[in-house]
Copies of this chain bind each other. A is one copy, B any other.
Amino acid sequence: MNRKSRPTVETISLRARVAPSTVSRALKGDRRISERTRANILSIARELGYFPNANARSLVTRRSGLIGFVMGDVNNPIYPEMLEQLVRRTGERGFRLMVLHAGRQPLLESSIQALLQYQMDGCIITSAELTSRAVELCRQHHVPLVTMNRVPRARSCAVSCNNAAGGHLLGEMLVAAGHRRIAIVVGTPNTSTSSDRETGATAALASHGLAPFARLDGHSTYEGGLAAAHELACRPERPDAVYAVNDIMALGVIDGLRRQGLKVPEDISVVGFDDIRAASWLSYNLTTVAQPIGAMAERALDLLEIRMKDPDTPDEEAYIRGELRVRGSARLPPDIDAFLSDLQD
């Protein structure tokens, strides 16, 4: 008995005295196989510790069960949080997640190619850099693609928080709280995430006859937020509130303002967007809009699976509403309860 080589369908078929095709069918629960043979085959398989070779299978079925994931900057905790959601949910659906890339640096050509070499059934992208090239390759090779929290210029499916609505909400809240000099710290330029969150807020301000007091680039990093705060704090006239379009920058903003001796929210309000774990840490206690990453991950996989079955399904975009998390980093509107209940409409 050769213990080195693992059992295959053939091993089982020999033992069970049936054809390999029968084994294959029995193993995947084909209805046409009699209960007897099937039970027999199953027991042999179990006894042998058999499990199918995914490579051989995908060679013939042309479906690998693999989903590629292109991940953004791991220093923004929202991405690891998305990863966790995706890993669990892909597993539940019988797929596996391959991380093709992680970080701010541009996506390598070789990483995109892995997508094709391994015959991935789909791909999810949350990174900003070089997305268009990846989108192009996916289209060309009919690999279903969903961008998460990123609506690319090139067409593809997209799942996103309703960033504009969230930004609007935050803008409204700041105005309702009496703020008039509201600075905005934007993130990675040319990303829909940043611009939607920004325009949502500016629209809210505009509806009250206000314009942003200032607009700074925070590069979607803690350090960028820190630098933006320094700049704002040193101006002759300071803003009375800062809206950073994501939490990681907002934390930097808070720390930067405090270093300049300002109190948050007494001297200046700060709000963010995402609701990463650190937003609820006591040092920050950040008011923010929670990104519904669980629902987003679920929807992303839905969109992918639909297109695996029918590649001709037209692209679609899904926007899922985020939820306001009122904490302590921003002054509250005097009529906060009314304000919040108005949101029900």
For chain A, which range describes its interface: under 10, 10 to 19, 20 to 34, or 35 or more residues?
A: 35 or more
- Min CB distance A62 to B, Å, is 9
- Min CB distance A249 to B, Å, is 12
**Nearest CB to that of A110 among chain B residues?**
B91
* Alpha-carbon separation in the docked complex, A116 to B113 (Å): 24
| Interface status of A77 (Cβ within 8 A of chain B) | yes
User: Which of A95-103, A149-157, A182-190, A231-239 participates in binding chain B?
Assistant: A95-103
* Alpha-carbon separation in the docked complex, A98 to B87 (Å): 10
Query: Is the pair B102, A84 in contact by a Cβ cutoff of 8 Å?
Result: yes
| Interface status of A273 (Cβ within 8 A of chain B) | no
* Alpha-carbon separation in the docked complex, A113 to B118 (Å): 19
Query: Is the pair A74, B83 in contact by a Cβ cutoff of 8 Å?
Result: yes
| Given A54-B117, A59-B56, A6-B99 contact (CB < 8 Å) | no
Query: Is the pair A102, B87 in contact by a Cβ cutoff of 8 Å?
Result: yes
| Interface status of A80 (Cβ within 8 A of chain B) | yes
| Interface status of A258 (Cβ within 8 A of chain B) | yes
- Min CB distance A92 to B, Å, is 9
Interface residues of A in 243-278 (CB under 8 A from B): 251-252, 254-256, 258-259, 277-278
| Interface status of A283 (Cβ within 8 A of chain B) | yes
- Report which of B6, B71, B88 forms a contact with A141, defined as CB distance below 8 A: B6
- Min CB distance A174 to B, Å, is 23
| Given A118-B54, A222-B277, A283-B284, A83-B102 contact (CB < 8 Å) | yes
**Nearest CB to that of A282 among chain B residues?**
B255
Query: Is the pair A111, B91 in contact by a Cβ cutoff of 8 Å?
Result: yes
Complex interface: chain B residues within 8 A of A283 (CB): 251, 254-255, 258, 283-284
Which of A6, A91, A258 has the largest number of chain B CB atoms within 10 A?
Answer: A91
| Interface status of A43 (Cβ within 8 A of chain B) | no
- Report which of B56, B101, B259 forms a contact with A87, defined as CB distance below 8 A: B101
Query: Is the pair A51, B113 in contact by a Cβ cutoff of 8 Å?
Result: yes
* Alpha-carbon separation in the docked complex, A259 to B96 (Å): 43
- Min CB distance A60 to B, Å, is 9
- Min CB distance A113 to B, Å, is 6
Interface residues of A in 21-75 (CB under 8 A from B): 51-56, 58-59, 64, 66, 69, 71, 74-75
* Alpha-carbon separation in the docked complex, A52 to B116 (Å): 9
Known A54-B114, A91-B111; 9 more pairs at CB < 8 Å: A54-B117, A71-B87, A77-B80, A83-B102, A88-B103, A98-B98, A252-B281, A255-B281, A278-B278
Question: What would be 25 A-B contacts, judged by CB atoms less than 8 Å apart?
Answer: A51-B116, A51-B117, A53-B59, A55-B55, A55-B59, A59-B59, A71-B87, A74-B83, A77-B77, A83-B83, A84-B102, A84-B103, A87-B99, A87-B100, A87-B101, A87-B102, A87-B103, A88-B102, A91-B108, A96-B114, A97-B99, A99-B99, A222-B277, A278-B278, A283-B284
